[in-house]
């Protein structure tokens, strides 16, 4: 099962990459730019077909994918008669949309996955089913039994146990009319919660029941808002992680080569995430729904992080190209103020040395994470 989880993660990762590239593809086509290739993988071409002016296909090294938009820089040659379709000639607004579309679809995909989790798979939550009744409590005196499903409290239908639990604790000892389902019948029970001292030293009104915990779907309406809220939480956490990343690299070096314990909240590479996915799939203590839910959370959070990472204003990331497009607009604005013509677009090839330095840094970090994930992997004890 662990291998299944790893393979499923690889498929999900490649799908996410191609969704990203599709964002560039569909917006570039929308604005009349020439898109000549759309491929999964790199290296030798294994299989392809051509539709219109674009060649689609698969290459030998499944390490990502790409969408080739012609005319990214002024020095790129364009087919005769199609010079006007070069990317660099587009307005800055259109450039920003095309460049940002890939990251945008990462967030859309994450939201869709989380919505599917809430509405289709379900999440772990406290259920209104009684797992056990504590002796010498209001519940045992009133006649509650293990397996009873609480349907309503004081005439109000039970829908979300956290809210109904508040009714019990806020009763201040008043009698509650509780309807339970037992062996296919509905039974009404009258019970008055008792003020009870809790392990932490506080006191609260309780019935004396322990509820079951299980996977349960939530309504479509609530799933819409819950998915949006969790997507935002993932985005905030990813932004915080990116800000903290430089400060965590020295510790990662020690964890990789100094036999130090790996920080569960530290950076992790693709191999590490794949390993965690495999752990989740192989955990016999989790139900199928719980395994699926864990996998969906992993893939959704990864998409949010990758989407945000790609927006960083450094070349060769999409955010770096977006920064160049914004710089073009700033230069044009000042040119207008001075009554001068619009300057020529910035040629990103001029920034090749900067791009090369960033690429080396990212490659070194990727290699460090790869070594750490292999020789000192993170284990989440799933």
* Residues involved in catalysis: 21
Cα gap 376→343, rounded to integer Å: 52
Contact partners, residue 348, CB within 8 Å, separation at least 6? 72, 73, 315, 321, 324, 355
B/e letters for 78-93, b = 16+ CB within 10 Å, e = fewer, are eeeeeeebbbbebebe
The phi, psi pair for 108, rounded to 5°, reads -60, -45
Q: At what angle do helices 92-116 and 220-257 cross, to 10 degrees?
A: 100
Cα gap 30→24, rounded to integer Å: 10
Cα gap 366→360, rounded to integer Å: 10
Q: Is the peptide bond before 316 cis (omega within 30 degrees of 0)?
A: yes
Yes or no: say if 280 and 295 are a contact pair by the CB < 8 Å rule: yes
Q: At what angle do helices 220-257 and 352-375 cross, to 10 degrees?
A: 90
């Amino acid at each position: 099962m662990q291998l299944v989880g790893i393979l499923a993660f690889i498929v999900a990762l490649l799908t996410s990459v191609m969704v990203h590239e599709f964002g560039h593809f569909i917006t570039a086509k929308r604005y009349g730019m020439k898109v000549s290739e759309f491929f999964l993988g790199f290296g030798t071409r294994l299989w392809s077909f051509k539709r219109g002016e674009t060649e689609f296909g698969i290459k030998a090294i499944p390490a990502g994918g790409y969408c080739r938009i012609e005319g990214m820089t002024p020095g790129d040659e364009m087919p005769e008669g199609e010079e006007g379709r070069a990317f660099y000639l587009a307005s800055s607004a259109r450039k920003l949309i095309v460049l940002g579309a890939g990251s945008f679809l990462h967030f859309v995909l994450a939201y869709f996955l989380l919505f599917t989790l809430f509405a289709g798979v379900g999440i772990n939550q406290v259920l209104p089913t009684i797992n056990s009744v504590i002796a010498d409590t209001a519940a045992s005196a009133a006649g509650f039994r293990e397996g009873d499903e609480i349907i309503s409290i004081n005439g109000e239908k039970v829908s979300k146990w956290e809210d109904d639990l508040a009714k019990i604790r806020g009763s201040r000892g008043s009698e509650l009319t509780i309807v339970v389902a037992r062996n296919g019948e509905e039974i009404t029970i009258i019970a008055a919660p008792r003020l009870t001292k809790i392990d932490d030293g506080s006191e609260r009104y309780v019935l004396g029941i322990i509820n079951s915990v299980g996977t349960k779907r939530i309504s479509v309406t609530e799933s819409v808002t819950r998915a949006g809220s969790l997507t935002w939480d993932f985005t905030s956490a990813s932004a915080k992680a990116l800000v903290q990343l430089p400060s965590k690299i020295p510790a990662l070096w020690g964890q990789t080569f100094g036999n130090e314990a790996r920080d569960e909240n530290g950076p992790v590479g693709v191999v590490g995430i794949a390993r965690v996915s495999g752990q989740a799939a192989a955990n016999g203590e989790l139900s199928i729904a719980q395994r699926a839910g864990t996998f969906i959370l992993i893939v959704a959070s990864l998409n949010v992080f990758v989407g945000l990472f790609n927006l960083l204003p450094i070349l060769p990331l999409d955010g770096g190209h977006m920064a160049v497009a914004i710089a073009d607009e700033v230069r044009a604005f000042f040119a207008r103020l001075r009554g001068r013509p619009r300057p020529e677009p910035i040629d990103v090839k001029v920034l090749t040395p900067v791009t090369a330095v960033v690429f080396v840094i990212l490659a070194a970090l990727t290699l460090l994470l790869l070594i750490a994930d292999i020789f000192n992997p993170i284990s989440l004890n799933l």
